[in-house]
Amino acid sequence: MADSILLNPVRTNSRKTAYYNAGRPSRYQIEDESLNLDEMPLMMSEEAFENDESDYQTLPRARVSQRHRGLGWFLCGGWKVLCISCCECLVHTCRRKKELKARTVWLGNPEKCEEKYPRNAIKNQKYNIVTFVPGVLYQQFKFFLNLYFLVVACSQFVPSLKIGYLYTYWAPLGFVLAVTMVREAVDEVRRCRRDKEMNSQLYSKLTMRGKVQIKSSDIQVGDLIIVEKNQRIPADMIFLRTSEKTGSCFIRTDQLDGETDWKLRVTVACTQRLPALGDLFSISAYVYAQKPQLDIHSFEGNFTREDCDPPIHESLSIENTLWASTVVASGTVIGVVIYTGKEMRSVLNTSQSKNKVGLLDLELNRLTKALFLAQVVLAVVMVALQGFLGPWFRNLFRFVVLFSYIIPISLRVNLDMGKSAYGWMIMKDENIPGTVVRTSTIPEELGRLVYLLTDKTGTLTQNEMVFRRLHLGTVSYGTDTMDEIQSHIIQSYAQVSSANGSSASSTPSRKPQPPAPKVRKSVSSRIHEAVKAIALCHNVTPVYESHVNGASTEPESTEADQDFSDDNRTYQASSPDEVALVRWTESMGLTLVNRDLTSLQLKTPAGQILTYYILQIFPFTSESKRMGIILREEATGDITFYMKGADVAMASIVQYNDWLEEECGNMAREGLRTLVVAKKSLTEEQYQDFESRYNQAKLSIHDRALKVAAVVESLEREMELLCVTGVEDQLQADVRPTLELLRNAGIKIWMLTGDKLETATCIAKSSHLVSRNQDIHVFRPVSNRGEAHLELNAFRRKHDCALVISGDSLEVCLRYYEHEFVELACQCPAVVCCRCSPTQKAQIVRLLQQHTANRTCAIGDGGNDVSMIQAADCGIGIEGKEGKQASLAADFSITQFKHIGRLLMVHGRNSYKRSAALGQFVMHRGMIISTMQAVFSSIFYFASVPLYQGFLMVGYATIYTMFPVFSLVLDQDVKPEMALLYPELYKDLTKGRSLSFKTFLIWVLISVYQGGILMYGALVLFDQEFVHVVAISFTALILTELLMVALTVRTWHWLMVVAELISLGCYFASLAFLNEYFGIGRVTLGAFLDISFITTRAFLWKVCVITLVSCLPLYIIKYLKRKFSPPSYSKLSS
């Protein structure tokens, strides 16, 4: 990376640094000075870093404010700082948030709560009845363009400033406001209906008198709520009881964390043991819960029952929680509500939707300010040429109003109508069926994107795992040779059955010894051991649904004597990888048929049931990167320790071999997720010794986690390596070519996922997000400033490599080295952030917006992606397996990831190019008529008299030129096929060259030239008939505008021709019927239009000459430019 980037811990100027360093120990000066930071860690101890970390957070900021602030500071922007500070202080005082606190919640007694907690109502509305009109008006008039029109329109109520008819100013403004208000009202009504639907869902509340129905919005902290299967959990609760005999249930969390796997939740043991449901009111118990937090993956609390001796205390963790927005997947659950409304995890992780404004609108807003400045200067020049005679200030304002057409109000109308047209075209595109435009104000943003932030699960992948490879060291099995494994398994169990007769044992008869035998095992026995290990070492639970007359009812209890039929069995686990492995062993003939907290059962190919008792289970963690299980076989009493995990974790645990690292690398390059499986046989004495040490470690108060890990690690030595498995997470259709297309278009892709680091890295490779020849830098886990500094230095030395970083490390880096980290990350070809919370995803989007000032796009499909989608400049939602939450919150909704290619390359390009051309042409239309007005006023002794009256001014911007100008929304510079074939064309759009001060200046020069030619041409050629100057100049003006549309068009559409002909027809008809408007000034001296005059040959040829002189040079320039300096797209077209 760029070696010039310095990782200054405190970014500040040298003067401030010197100020801080005065009187501080020398070791801090070392860090704060701009030294070579590569060497800095060598000069500083870890202790110094830790000390400095606290100093970093408590810099003497108060003293900085005591610097001398004089009049110069106040005049040079200090007044602005003071005003902003006062406003922020006032807003903070008015909207002060209540401090979140920990709480004690008594079961079934909401009235015992010490504090008042928020209502459990969902509210997504932007306005209410009182704030709707002021809110919408503010959103409209905060733009300079609309505010300017309002001031000009209001000025017409002052008689001395009145220029024309009131309707010429108020009708267009009223139309714009009416359309906006109707659109906002429709959106607000839809939001209100959705909220009402969610808040009025009914739930059963448990009371002393039994069950009562209660609305979701009426639920309070302390209520006991019953939630049925497939019902949404309405508030954050602690899990007290379930109808499942195991004392646990599954929940679906896809709308909370984006993961489609079911999560296991466990009841509070004390309340689950109560004989009846009503006994919850007969006990005196409470839950102590930590204060509401953002983290959806952790919880700390205690359950206490007071009415027994001694009182019962149970610690509560994430396993005992039921967060709102999750769905119960099995059984019926009863919980006590601990957080409601704004304090729920799901609401805390959802950001408020903002009104998105496109970059093109902001650019046009800047251009209108420049036009306004030009307008004021022109008015001042006119008054100055008058010699500031009489009431010059009034004349100045009259000139400003007279030249107000420099900034046409039709600009806003045309652009808004254009945006609606683009939205309609996107939804009607047959190549991207099902696409919905939900925010019609930002279609041009699709053509300006630099960063694409994408979710992984369900967006890039289908989240469907398929078993692809089994490697035993000497032999490898792929999808085409799986039948060999199946025949080995059937043969293996058939031999055991025949050898043991009707014996209960159905495993191979050899007795395993603690040391691994040196004799080389046969391939058949190795396959058998490997498949059995895969079938046993997991956390999967089979769930059975009984079907009565086609209807699914409650899951039956999974007892051994139950009918374990294959057609109604589904597997549930916290990881889809494990489900894929168990499904594969089922297809090989070894089926998991039952599991509870103490045992699991397998069914052999011959139909016999094998029972294994679960002695210990060591779940997978992101630190250990492995999971283990100790089982005792019922038939033989043998104890076996099985373990599986990532190759980096397992390499040091298994016995020496020469193939593991190489084969894991080969599978990873194929995009497969690898797991290494190993086992170790234990004697009864070995296990008893381990169990006593393990239980003792679990009871210790200090360093419990470390002691437990140490005891488990004592078992993890010299394990027998069984096999390596390769599982593929199937990608969405055409993900690879789509990502390649986006990369070629110059779009940088960041993958933000809540999944594990290994999984994210694997998908990044298989989807070709990271190309084959690119290195990957995995950012080491860091927890403090010193570690972050060292790791950033290591990363800085890498060149052209993709970055993989976890959410925790990212948080530490952003706390101390935000600017440096973003600068380094932005230079990477791809970035993968794993273990990201929904809030972190949105934070990353905002960081890119602040530090790069480039346009960002976020795409996702789950409820956990909503914050990211709303924070991005352009949010795209995919309707997928994880529901419609992301799709409804997004600006654009698509059905498949591959559709994003066409959405950006074709529709994004067209929307931006068309709006840029339309906006500039509408401004040109206003500038040309203002130039003519200026020439006219200068001839008539600088009088502030309008050249064209009432209807002509309204007609000019509407009926005479609107259709041809608006037909520019049908124009395209490149065919869709070409735009997709050459995505490099997209790079030009991000530079914003279609609408810039340069192009704007060209249009200003064209307008001044044409306006001058039209007016002076009318004077030179019609000096005898000057009384007809309005008809002469206006006719030439209309013809010029129609020809200019033809000049601007790059690809003709039949509707464009129709629009030109209709406009021409309308104008000639008005010449005949509206002749009273074609006089000079207000109908003066009887100067009406003479029909016989416009039918003379002289009138026709003179008008044609004026029009030709105004347009022909531009056509010649355009031809020469295309000939000698053609744009890149025209080269491709030819």
pLDDT given for residue 548 in this prediction: 45
**One-letter identity of residue 523:** V
188's tokens: 């607000």
pTM of the model: 0.72
**One-letter identity of residue 969:** V
CA dist 577 and 676 (Å) reads 13
Annotated active-site positions, please?
A: 455
Quick one: three-class SS letters along 74-91?
A: HHHHHHHHHHHHHHHHHH
**Residue 558, SS3 per DSSP:** coil
CA dist 345 and 349 (Å) reads 6
CB neighbour burial string for 1070-1084, b if at least 16 within 10 angstroms, e if fewer: bbeeeeebbbbbeee
pLDDT given for residue 240 in this prediction: 93
Residue carrying structure tokens 């416009």: 1094
**One-letter identity of residue 688:** Q
| Ordered mean pLDDT values, 10 residues apiece, the chain (1134 residues) | 41 39 38 38 36 37 41 55 63 60 86 83 83 88 82 86 77 82 85 86 90 92 92 94 86 76 85 88 90 84 87 84 91 93 86 78 89 90 84 85 82 87 94 90 92 89 87 90 90 72 42 44 88 94 65 41 65 84 93 88 91 90 83 94 90 90 83 89 94 83 78 90 91 92 94 82 87 86 92 90 92 92 93 88 93 93 85 89 74 93 95 94 91 85 74 78 90 91 91 90 94 87 68 88 90 92 88 62 43 74 90 91 79 62
8 A C-beta contact, residue 5 and residue 824: yes
545's tokens: 């649904």
8 A C-beta contact, residue 321 and residue 239: yes
What does DSSP say about strands 449-454 and 748-752: parallel, antiparallel, or unpaired?
Answer: parallel
Which ranges of 501-611 does DSSP label H, i.e. alpha helix?
523-536, 576-588
Cα of first residue to Cα of last residue in the chain, in angstroms, is 40
1126's tokens: 């053609």
- Cα three-residue angle 190-195-201, rounded to 5 degrees: 130
8 A C-beta contact, residue 1011 and residue 1037: no
pLDDT given for residue 508 in this prediction: 42
pLDDT given for residue 69 in this prediction: 54
CA dist 25 and 52 (Å) reads 11
pLDDT given for residue 17 in this prediction: 39
CB neighbour burial string for 978-1000, b if at least 16 within 10 angstroms, e if fewer: bbbebbebbeebbebebbeeebb
8 A C-beta contact, residue 340 and residue 119: yes
927's tokens: 């500038």
8 A C-beta contact, residue 239 and residue 314: no
**One-letter identity of residue 1130:** S
Which residues, 6+ apart, have CB-to-CB distance to 452 below 8 Å? 742, 747, 748, 749, 750, 856, 857, 858, 859, 900
CA dist 582 and 566 (Å) reads 13
**Residue 88, SS3 per DSSP:** helix
- Cα three-residue angle 75-81-86, rounded to 5 degrees: 125
Length of the chain: 1134
What are 602's strand-pairing partners? Answer: 592, 610
pLDDT given for residue 1076 in this prediction: 61
